[in-house]
Amino acid sequence: MSDRISVAKTYKLYVGGKFPRSESGRVYPVTDAKGKFLANAAHASRKDVRDAVVAARKAFPGWSSATAYNRGQVLYRVAEVLEGRRDQFIAEVSASEGLSAKKAESTVDAAIDRWVWYAGWTDKIASVLGSANPVAGPYFSFTVPEPTGVVGILAPQGSSLLGLVEVLAPVLATGSTAVVVSSAERPLPAITLSEVLATSDVPGGVANILTGRASELGPWLASHGDVNALDPTGAAPDERVELAREAANTVKRVLTVPSAEPDWTTAPDLTRLRRYLEAKTVWHPLGV
């Protein structure tokens, strides 16, 4: 039997393409489904939320103006890197959620496939959700979908990877940028996903991942004036009313989510893609 002492990890946040420590200096222990210590995670603060929003806003013009084809390539690259770290994700999902190796393997494969699915939609959204409008006059009238902006996401608490991918990938696919608060009790797959994002082609600031508690960080995201939409999936049902009230003060979109966590294994559809798009109608005279 080896008497070697394993190196305890203390993970950092992912903000603006970098891995800073929390401004607060706080960390908290992460355990597996049986209570065994796994690592320490940074406990993000209000200041960290503000920094992440600044990074997301800075990245938004470049990401939203990138061609849809290019965004699809970037998201597909995320799936490629995820595939390369598949064994690590399987081990972390199994430990975090208490799943058997076979079930964790199925979950990770579904998460990888979900990235590919959303990557394939990036250059099709405009055709499916846009339109050429019939008008009574010598004009062209087109309605085109445009990205919402900076989206705050409270990630699912139960599904540490597949649910996280399902709430993050459609935001990026539509051209918006994201600030994500991961599952507090099961943050390791989110932390490893941030490493995947950093080593793929996703520009810094497009996706920012904070570890901490949704109950503490959610209100700051909801009230922040430079956040354009909020996904409260990971908030407790009794907290969502207050989050919506805070969000109303800055006129941001708040997604309506079921009280119980959805079954993330069901086939995806366009619902979440639609939520992060705004309709812009353009009129142009004929013959000009």
**Does the pLDDT value for residue 263 go beyond 80?**
yes
The pTM of this model reads: 0.93
* 32-58 pLDDT per residue, tens: 989 999 999 999 999 999 999 999 999
- Quick one: pLDDT at residue 134? 87
Could you give the dihedral angle defined by the CA atoms of residues 7, 11, 17 and 23, in that order, rounded to the nearest 10 degrees?
-130
Mean pLDDT, residues 193-210: 96
Domains and CATH numbers, the chain: 27-285 (3.40.605.10)
Average pLDDT of 178-196? 96
**pLDDT score of 5 more than 80:** no
pLDDT band at 2 (very low <50, low <70, confident <90, very high): low
Contacts 24+ apart (CB under 8 A), 42-45: 42/10, 42/11, 42/12, 42/13, 42/211, 42/212, 43/211, 43/212, 43/213, 44/13, 44/181, 44/210, 44/211, 44/212, 44/217, 45/212
Collapsed DSSP state (helix, strand, coil) of residue 231: strand
Q: Is the predicted pLDDT of residue 287 greater than 80, yes or no?
A: no
Check pLDDT > 90 for residue 231: yes
Rounded (10°) angle between helices 68-84 and 101-121: 170
> 150-159 pLDDT, tens per residue?
999 999 999 9
Measured CA to CA, the distance from residue 171 to residue 150 in angstroms comes to 9
Half-sphere exposure of 62 toward its Cβ, with a 13 Å CA cutoff? 11
